[in-house]
């Protein structure tokens, strides 16, 4: 028992000796951050702000896209199961997150106006004939609604694209500035070895690492949301064509 205790005490004494390296040199991220110059530190603050903004947009956009997909699928089922357009329009009011439902509402409202104009023409009111433009008006109304939905769903994607393209260069600027400052400090240093500039270079390289950490998720998130948006708009275009065909067959016949 005494031998074991003495052995442990010897190991502890050996670990406390100055010549024995401690486990893992502690060049921590926070040390690198606060040890950098004010320019590099400003670059790091900007990149961290970009990264926080990207993750906030990603969370909000994920919920928005998921809601749009779910409500669009629900609306398409309602559209093909319902017996009349009035019932479908009433159901679309509660599906504001669906781009398909919003395009239908725009087309349905224009179709109602065109139907009233056609009825007025049939009753002999010549003034209404000038207002009746056929299915082109319904198509234009749906196209306007489509553009509005694309604009709504694209909100925030520009920030992701900007972050993915500029964050690496912002980080590189911080790294170049930090390395330049480290080498300039050699003029006042007592030693011109690599050990004299190594801390400054390490502090500068953290800017490139943070820039890549902000840019890589932004690229992935942008591509993901852009693909989801393309799929949704393809569904909108398909539905708009089918709805326009139904309108021309049943409501806008000459």
Query: Domain for residue 15, yes or no?
Result: no
Query: Domain for residue 4, yes or no?
Result: no
- Residue pair 92/76 in contact (Cβ under 8 Å)? The answer is no
- Give the confidence band of 179 by pLDDT, cuts at 50, 70, 90: confident
Query: Domain for residue 88, yes or no?
Result: yes
DSSP per-residue string spanning 161-217: HHHHHHHHHHHHHHHHHHHHHHHHGGGT-S--SHHHHHHHHHHHHHHHHHHHHHHHH
pLDDT at 24: 42
Model pLDDT for residues 189-231, shown as the tens digit of each residue: 555 555 556 666 777 788 888 999 999 999 999 999 999 999 9
Model pLDDT for residues 107-117, shown as the tens digit of each residue: 998 888 877 77
What's the domain count of the chain?
1
Query: Domain for residue 119, yes or no?
Result: yes
Query: Domain for residue 9, yes or no?
Result: no
Q: Token digits for 147?
A: 């553009």
pLDDT at 16: 41
pLDDT above 60 for 254: no
Query: Domain for residue 59, yes or no?
Result: yes
Query: Domain for residue 31, yes or no?
Result: no
- Residue pair 97/60 in contact (Cβ under 8 Å)? The answer is no
Residue 104 makes CB contacts below 8 A (sequence gap 6+) with: 75, 79, 88, 89, 92, 142, 239, 243
Q: Give the structural domain span for 74.
A: 36-250
- Residue pair 199/177 in contact (Cβ under 8 Å)? The answer is no
The stretch 31-55 carries a mean pLDDT of 81
Q: Smallest Cα–Cα separation from 240: which of 159, 139, 166?
A: 139
Query: Domain for residue 21, yes or no?
Result: no
pLDDT above 70 for 127: no
The stretch 86-96 carries a mean pLDDT of 88
């Amino acid at each position: 028992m005494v031998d074991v205790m003495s052995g442990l005490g010897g190991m502890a004494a050996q670990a406390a000796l100055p010549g024995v390296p401690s486990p893992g040199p502690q060049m921590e991220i926070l040390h690198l951050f606060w040890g950098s110059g004010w320019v590099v530190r400003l670059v790091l603050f900007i990149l961290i702000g970009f990264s926080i903004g990207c993750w906030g947009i990603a969370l909000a956009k994920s919920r928005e896209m998921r809601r749009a997909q779910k409500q669009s699928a629900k609306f398409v089922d309602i559209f093909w199961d319902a017996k009349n357009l009035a019932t479908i329009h009433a159901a679309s009011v509660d599906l504001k997150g669906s781009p398909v439902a919003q395009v239908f509402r725009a087309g349905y409202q224009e179709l109602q106006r065109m139907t009233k104009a056609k009825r007025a023409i049939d009753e002999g009111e010549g003034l209404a004939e000038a207002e009746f433009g056929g299915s082109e008006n319904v198509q234009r109304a749906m196209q306007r609604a489509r553009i509005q939905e694309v604009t709504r769903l694209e909100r925030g994607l520009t920030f992701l694209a900007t972050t993915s393209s500029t964050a690496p260069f912002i980080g590189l600027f911080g790294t170049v500035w930090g390395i330049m400052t480290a080498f300039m400090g050699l003029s006042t240093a007592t030693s011109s070895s690599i050990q004299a500039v190594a801390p400054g270079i390490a502090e500068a390289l953290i800017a490139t690492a943070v820039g890549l950490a902000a840019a890589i998720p932004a690229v992935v998130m942008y591509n993901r949301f852009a693909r989801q948006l393309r799929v949704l708009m393809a569904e909108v275009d398909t539905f708009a064509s089918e709805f326009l065909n139904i309108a021309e067959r049943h409501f806008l016949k000459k």
